[in-house]
Amino acid sequence: MRTIWWEDGTVKMIDQRQLPHEVVIAEFTDHREVARSITEMYIRGAPAIGAAAGFAMALAALESTATTREGLLNDLEAAAETVRAARPTAANLFWAVDRMLGVAHRGTLTDADAVREALVAEAQALADEDVEISKRMGANGATLINDGDTILHHCNTGALATVDWGTALGVIRMAHEQGKRIHVLVDETRPRLQGARLTAWELQQYGIPYDIISDNAAGYFLRTGQAHKVFFGADRVAANGDVANKIGTYMLSLAARDNGVPAYAVVPTSTIDLSLPDGGHIPIEERSPDEVLDLQRQGRPLAPAGASARNPAFDVTPHRLVTAIVTENGVVRPPFGPGLQAVVAAAR
């Protein structure tokens, strides 16, 4: 089963809010509902969000009652605004919407139905390519993993964060399938617990041994030599190699550097945003304080009534703390600028 797929004009996705307890499939036929599913994190993880955005644009094309090409293009531009507003940080969301609009505006598509057909095909192609790209990242990244490694991993970067397979967790899975013995220390990843809920669920299915650790135990494991490598994904990478990823990645990378442990980011080129010179320009989503105060999301907050909280969902790790950036087009090492340009150019 993929994380998200298209079936007879309907977008289907695993509702990740229900995992690991239940596998519930959500179904949508309206692009606004798909945008809401991204905001509310039915689906999350940068490449999965990109695929959802692609399918949302295909739905918008089918929903539109426009009979002319121009009318449909107007409706698609409006839908694009709705989809772009779903979440601010993951570059893949904007990349996918732009890719879909680029197809819609092709001069060779002269009537509305031709545009509709092309958009459905493009969304499907984008999702299929995501799987193939994940496997290439996996193969490139697995060269960095040795037999016997213990790997510290942050957030969820597996099949659930992509259409299938994964970014950083895809690398770990590939190394495991190559026969390397690996142990994973799974950061629980507060406040949404993507590590404890989703990464542990995936690792169990792959038969990869792991232990969940609280996020603030990571420094202990790095300091005592019990973690040999750190792997994480990214939501956006700036032109200089600064990496925006799930909140806590910065502290993890600092602790890794202080202890001489390599820290690897694994990203498809669709996550690299060469228009931003550095990570200071990456928009950081701040989500509801309720996610921090009511960790179990059961309406029974941990904190005293009336407590306030802050909830930045991402942070930026400066490129000086990143050992290498693994992409589907190769492993980029510092200085990152020229290498990132080359892997993005190779993707065009």
Residues serving a catalytic function are 235
Residue identified by tokens 């928009």 is: 283
Nearer to ligand MRU among residue 274 and residue 284 (C-beta): 284
DSSP letters for 319-336:
GGG-SEEEETTEEE-SSH
Euclidean distance between CA atoms 275 and 26, whole angstroms: 35
Would strands 263-266 and 324-327 be described as parallel, antiparallel, or unpaired?
parallel
- Residues 107-146, one symbol each (x = binds ligand MRU by CB under 6 A, - = not), give ----------------------------------------
Q: How many residues bind ligand MRU (CB under 6 A)?
A: 17
Q: How far is the CB of 113 from ligand MRU (least distance, A)?
A: 35
70 alpha carbon, distance to own chain's centre: 33
DSSP letters for 209-259:
-EEEE-GGGHHHHHHTT---EEEE--SEEETT--EEEETTHHHHHHHHHHT
Euclidean distance between CA atoms 242 and 165, whole angstroms: 24
Interaction of residue 37 with ligand MRU, rule CB under 6 A: no
- Residues 306-345, one symbol each (x = binds ligand MRU by CB under 6 A, - = not), give -------x--------------------------------
Nearer to ligand MRU among residue 164 and residue 235 (C-beta): 235
Binding span for ligand MRU by CB under 6 A among 43-51, 112-120, 214-222, 251-259:
43-51
Sign of torsion over alpha carbons 258, 263, 269, 271:
negative
Binding span for ligand MRU by CB under 6 A among 132-140, 177-185, 233-241, 300-308:
233-241
Contact in structure between 35 and 85 (CB atoms under 8 Å): yes
Interaction of residue 46 with ligand MRU, rule CB under 6 A: yes
Nearest to ligand MRU by Cβ — which residue?
A: 233
CA-based nearest residue to 66, from 51, 77, 82, 53: 77
Binding span for ligand MRU by CB under 6 A among 124-132, 171-179, 228-236, 291-299:
228-236
Nearer to ligand MRU among residue 2 and residue 44 (C-beta): 44
Nearer to ligand MRU among residue 122 and residue 187 (C-beta): 187
* 3-class DSSP state of 118: helix
Distances (CA, A) of 172 to 32, 111, 209, 214: 35, 46, 11, 20
Interaction of residue 245 with ligand MRU, rule CB under 6 A: yes
Nearer to ligand MRU among residue 75 and residue 235 (C-beta): 235
- Residues 149-188, one symbol each (x = binds ligand MRU by CB under 6 A, - = not), give ------x-x---xx----x---------------------
Interaction of residue 235 with ligand MRU, rule CB under 6 A: yes
Contact in structure between 46 and 235 (CB atoms under 8 Å): yes
Q: How far is the CB of 290 from ligand MRU (least distance, A)?
A: 15
Interaction of residue 47 with ligand MRU, rule CB under 6 A: yes
Q: How far is the CB of 193 from ligand MRU (least distance, A)?
A: 10
Among residues 191, 233, 248, 279, the one that binds ligand MRU under rule CB under 6 A: 233
Q: 22: Cβ–Cβ under 8 A, 6 or more apart, which residues? A: none
Across 25-131, where does the E strand assignment appear? Answer: 25-28
Contact in structure between 75 and 147 (CB atoms under 8 Å): no
Nearer to ligand MRU among residue 46 and residue 131 (C-beta): 46
Among residues 194, 253, 323, 329, the one that binds ligand MRU under rule CB under 6 A: 194
Interaction of residue 44 with ligand MRU, rule CB under 6 A: yes
Sign of torsion over alpha carbons 287, 245, 174, 345:
positive
Instruction: Give φ, ψ of 210 to 5 degrees.
Output: -155, 165
Q: What residue ranges bind ligand MRU (CB under 6 A)?
A: 44-47, 155, 157, 161-162, 167, 194, 232-235, 245-246, 313
